[in-house]
Structures are given as structure tokens and as C-alpha cells.
Amino acid sequence: MQTIKNKLLSPLLLSLALLVGCAQQSSVNPKDAEDGLLPRQTGLDSVSAAYAFDLSGAKVYLEPVAVAYSKRYPTPGSPLRAEDYELSEKDLARLQELMGETLSERFLAPRQSLLVADKAEADFVLRMDLSRFALGAPLDPQPWLWRVYTDQSAYGVLSGELQDSDGNAVMRFSDRRDIGDNFSGMGFAGRMDRFTSVTFWHDMKVDLRRAFASLDESLR
């Protein structure tokens, strides 16, 4: 009886193994495969890098971070416009600084690598973007809004591509980020906290540290 069971199980196990293999192959991004980048185990949505990729002691130049906003539709009767939910030039400069600071702290420093201000002296160039970005509320104070409460500071998809000095991609990553998400522990409802620019920048710093720490772990 045991022999019959084994004979029945063998084709089933083989089929399962083939399905798992196909699933793993299908998870490889075609663009990554074309560039010879291999998927890495990560806490982010995806990380891929060149085989035996090593960034130790490298100089990295960070391109200006690109931000693309989610489409907002005006609420009837609200004085707020879509532009009120976008970052000003000053805010974009601050975001760039924060990106560089947290990237250096959590990803480059463990490899004795550093950011450089001159692209010409860099060994690698990192391009990052924040797409589908949506603020929980306007950053600039509005005279008619005394207090604003939100269940998160912002949402966005953080993506990056690291290129060598010849312009070849050596690493890519992407992750959806619920920035400053507050969970009440009751069903799917989030806890509403007061939103201010101070809250937003604090939450952004904490979230970027987590993202780059996960990126660091994926390449160890």
C-alpha cells in the first residue's frame, strides 16, 4: 500500500517542483534579466543586482530625486487645489538632502562608501524617484485650516537604479511606502493623528531609514 502511495505522490511532487520553478522564473523582471541583474531576498517589493555586486569603498553621486504625484480631484466646496498637495522647490531641496543623509547612514556607510557632490569623480550614479506620491495634507499652513488629522503622512513608490561609470545598471529596487502609517489595531481603520510639516518630515526620515536598511540587508 505504501508503494502505491509513493508512486502517486512522485508525479505530484514533480509537478509542484515545476510550478515553483516556473513561478521563480516568471518573477524575474525582463529588463533586469536583459541587464544581467539577479533578484535578491528583500523586505522591499523588489531588489535586483549584478552577480557578486560589491559597492565597498565606492564614491556615489545621487541625481536629483524625481517626484511624480498621484492625480487629485478637487472636493466640491474645498478651497484646496491639487497644487496645494505638492512639494515646493524648498521642500524638494530638503527631500534631496534627506534622501542623501539616510542613504549614506543606512546603506553606504556600512560599506565604507560615500556620496560625492561631483558626478565626474563618482564610481556609481544613483537615480531615485518617488512616484504616485500623495501627501496626507498640504505642508504649507492654510489660514482656514487650524488642525488637520490624517491616518498617514504620505504615500509613494520609491524606486532607484544604480549605474556604473559606463552607464550600465548594477542594481535596481522598488517599494511601495505608506509613510507614517498609524494603525489602531481595530479592523482596517487607521488612527488619525495631527498632521504638520514637522510630523511629515519626521515620518519621512524614519521611513527612508527603514527602506535603506532593508536595501542594505538584501545585498549582504
CATH code for position 136: 3.40.50
- Evaluate whether residue 19 is within a structural domain: no
- Evaluate whether residue 20 is within a structural domain: no
- Evaluate whether residue 17 is within a structural domain: no
Percentage of the chain lying above the pLDDT 70 cut:
79
- Evaluate whether residue 109 is within a structural domain: yes
β-bridge mates for residue 174, sequence order: 46, 159
Are 60 and 115 in contact, with CB atoms under 8 Å apart?
Answer: yes
Q: Which residues of 174-200 are buried (b: 16+ CB within 10 A; e: fewer)?
A: bbebbbbeeeeeeeeeeeebebeeebb
Structure-block grid coordinates of residue 111:
560599506
Write down the pLDDT at residue 191: 65
- Evaluate whether residue 4 is within a structural domain: no
Write down the pLDDT at residue 206: 94
Write down the pLDDT at residue 184: 41
Percentage of the chain lying above the pLDDT 90 cut:
56
Are 180 and 205 in contact, with CB atoms under 8 Å apart?
Answer: no
The pTM score is: 0.79
Mean pLDDT by 10 residues, the chain (220 residues): 41 38 53 90 95 95 96 77 89 97 97 96 97 88 66 91 96 93 48 79 94 94
Exposure of 41 in the CB half-sphere (CA atoms within 13 A)? 2
Q: How many domains does the chain have?
A: 1
CA atoms of 209 and 153, how far apart (whole Å): 16
- Evaluate whether residue 165 is within a structural domain: yes
pLDDT tens digits, one per residue of 58-93: 999 999 999 999 988 777 777 778 888 899 999 999
Q: How far is CA 5 from CA 1, 12, 47, 88, in A?
A: 6, 11, 41, 68
CA atoms of 129 and 156, how far apart (whole Å): 10
- State which residues form the domain around 69: 34-218
- Evaluate whether residue 24 is within a structural domain: no
- At residue 204, φ and ψ (nearest 5 deg) are -65, -40
- Evaluate whether residue 26 is within a structural domain: no
